[in-house]
Structure 1
Amino acid sequence: MSISTAVPVGEASASPTGPPGGRARFAWTTRRRDQLAGYLFIAPQLAGSLVFVFLPLGLVFWYSLHEWNVLAGTFEYTGGENYSRVLDDPTLRGVLAATAAFSTGLVVFNLSLALFLAVLLNQRMRGTVLFRTLFFSPVVVSLVAWTIVWGFLLQDNGGVNGALQLVGVDGPNWLRGDNTAMLSVIVVQVLKNVGLNMVLFLAALQGVPADLYEAASIDGAGRIRQFWRITVPMISPTILLTSIITVVGSLQVFAQIAVLTQGGPGTSTTVLVYYLYQQAFQFHQFGYGATLSVLLFAIVLVLTIVQWRMRRRWVFHES
């Protein structure tokens, strides 16, 4: 005879997936352990970004809505007055023009020279390792030391004019001429950082399959046609990367201007970052300086987005 056991009504039976009463027990699965490990790994970077990136950006925007006089100890809310001043500032137009001229010259000369050097050093010739080291060494040199040395070389009686006098050329005062000051700063910056882009281009060139060049040679394509039809499309992702890095870096230049020209002659080499520094730390107009910082951030953001959106038109494998 079988004996049946009755379960009282309202009393839940124990299940393997949860405790009595129907409440599910937290399952410490492998997936959740992996997720927790991932969050712990990114926590230091996330905390650093919040403290040193997003919080300062928020404070800069907050300061741009105020007039902060450190010497007088005043901090007054002005609303959009600083932004109206940006639109009416007559000096700012020349500053933006100088910034555009510097950025354009730096990007064009830097990328062109870096790609030219990378193509040359990608050939199988003697001494390529030595020349790679020679062109890359300025990248690891202190920026201030590099700029100070070039400041002495570009003086009226400096080393550059001394070398020109050996061939009968009377050189100008490079850092004090209206037409030569900006060019001098651009050349100094190009020589400082061209090695970094050269190494990036060289790595990209070494990843291009040799079979493509062999097939193009069989079809009768010359070196120039191979360069434009094979080399440039294959390394276009690296070109995009270097262009974004160079554009952003050109808009943040400060030490070169401060050491070489101090924004002169006049305001011909006063770029936006140096003008921001003058307003905030020389004239103690921190509210207006913060507003210029917001303007700089907006310019960098817009240019980066434009370059990223245009990649689909010319970057290989992008659609």
Structure 2
Amino acid sequence: MAVAQEDARPEGRSSSPFWTITRRDSLAGFLFIAPQMIGIFVFVLIPLGLVFWYSLHEWNVLANTFAFTGAQNYRMLLEDESLLDVLGATAIFSVGLVIFNLSLALLLAVLLNQRLAGIGVFRTLFFSPVVVSLVAWTIVWGFLLQKNGGINGMLLTFGIEGPNWLREETTAMISVVVVQVFKNVGLNMILFLAALQGVPKELYEAARIDGAPAYKQFRRITLPLISPTIMLTSIITIVGSLQVFAQIAVLTQGGPGLSTTVLVYYLYQQAFQFHYFGYGSTLSILLFAIVAILTFAQWQMRKRIVFYES
């Protein structure tokens, strides 16, 4: 009888409902990620596509013209005599920032990882610049670094005549790097501190029993086990160094000459000061390519840096 009823069903009709548990779970998952995907599409992919589209045009806002020029802006990029100096300044700033920021952050984290009375006050003190307004922080440092500012006044008490920090090529770049290091070193310090506190104490005890000195414990135990955090902070710091703008705009305005004109500030000058929006968009594409290449290269290096990567 059951066979007869099964044969009597219309051909092609399924007995299972459409909204199965698997489909409901899939729909719930898509709904949860939908806001993020919409945000990426609206605020990342569409603007990126528009920047590439603008790089193929010459857009004059004042004259209200928008003319297609093809690869003309990219030819200008290859012929730009100032671009090499700008890329050189960007590289010097990025390398200096990464080396000093990560080194100082790791040193502070190791020191603040000690169980001493009042150590929480020092942790708060070193982290406090991170939450301070970037522009306010830079303006204060601008006053301190002037020819007759606080730093030269302090040096004068020791009989040392300080330079005009922001108006000489060598000292200007050093000053900008130092200001940026002190501003963000607290963030990397906290990340390193959390990583250090996650290292098992038993490993250090075993190393001490085997007679390993402190520097070998740091090299053989600490560094390998915090390597994921080193990888993370290096990526964050490098990408952040390529996006620096406010410090340059407030402290040096890219000078003297092009000594502190990093790529982002040069992009701003071309697009918003000289109104070459097409060429500014082309520089944006160049910046995006540099960030993407460096991030990809760092990610590929994780197999050599991160201890648990195979």
Q: Following the alignment from structure 2 to structure 1, what is the Cα–Cα distance between the partners of residues 243 and 68?
A: 28
Q: 1:13 pairs with 8, 12, 28, which one?
A: 8
Partner SS for 2:82? helix
TM-score (norm: length of structure 2) = 0.97
Q: Following the alignment from structure 1 to structure 2, what is the Cα–Cα distance between the partners of residues 217 and 156?
A: 51
1:184 positional shift:
0.2
Partner SS for 2:287? helix
1:223 positional shift:
0.5
- 5 Å matches for 1:171-250? 171-250=162-241
Q: Following the alignment from structure 1 to structure 2, what is the Cα–Cα distance between the partners of residues 99 and 262?
A: 14
Q: Following the alignment from structure 2 to structure 1, what is the Cα–Cα distance between the partners of residues 3 and 24?
A: 41
1:286 positional shift:
0.3
Contact 2:155 2:162 in 1 (8 A): yes
Q: 2:13 pairs with 13, 19, 23, which one?
A: 23
For residues 155-207 of structure 1, give each alpha carbon's deviation from its aligned partner in whole angstroms, at most 9, with x where no partner exists.
Answer: 11111111111221111111111110000000000000000000000000000
Unaligned runs of 5+ in 2: none
What is the letter of the counterpart of residue 126 of structure 1? A
What is the letter of the counterpart of residue 53 of structure 2? W
- For the pair shown, which has the larger CA radius of gyration, 1 or 2? 1
Is the helix fraction higher in 1 or 2?
A: 2
For residues 119-163 of structure 1, give each alpha carbon's deviation from its aligned partner in whole angstroms, at most 9, with x where no partner exists.
Answer: 000111122100100000000111011111111111111111111
Contact 1:174 1:184 in 2 (8 A): yes
- Counterpart in 2 of 1:117? 108
Q: Following the alignment from structure 2 to structure 1, what is the Cα–Cα distance between the partners of residues 3 and 114?
A: 88
Q: Following the alignment from structure 2 to structure 1, what is the Cα–Cα distance between the partners of residues 291 and 123?
A: 31
What is the letter of the counterpart of residue 228 of structure 1? R
Partner SS for 1:118? helix
Aligned residues: 309
Contact 2:248 2:265 in 1 (8 A): yes
Q: Following the alignment from structure 1 to structure 2, what is the Cα–Cα distance between the partners of residues 188 and 74?
A: 41
How many percent identity over aligned positions?
72
* Alignment RMSD: 1.6
- Counterpart in 2 of 1:17? none
Q: Which runs of 4+ in 1 moved over 6 A?
A: 4-8
Contact 1:280 1:286 in 2 (8 A): yes
Q: 1:34 pairs with 25, 37, 57, which one?
A: 25
For residues 199-230 of structure 1, give each alpha carbon's deviation from its aligned partner in whole angstroms, at most 9, with x where no partner exists.
Answer: 00000000000111111111111000110110
Determine if the alignment matches structure 1 residue 262 to structure 2 residue 253.
yes
Q: Following the alignment from structure 1 to structure 2, what is the Cα–Cα distance between the partners of residues 190 and 291?
A: 29
Contact 2:231 2:305 in 1 (8 A): no
For residues 47-87 of structure 1, give each alpha carbon's deviation from its aligned partner in whole angstroms, at most 9, with x where no partner exists.
Answer: 11111100000000000011111111111111111111111
Determine if the alignment matches structure 1 residue 82 to structure 2 residue 77.
no
For residues 226-268 of structure 1, give each alpha carbon's deviation from its aligned partner in whole angstroms, at most 9, with x where no partner exists.
Answer: 1011000000000000000000000000000000000001110
- Counterpart in 1 of 2:54? 63
Partner SS for 1:179? helix
Q: Following the alignment from structure 2 to structure 1, what is the Cα–Cα distance between the partners of residues 64 and 7?
A: 70
Partner SS for 1:200? helix
- Counterpart in 2 of 1:92? 83
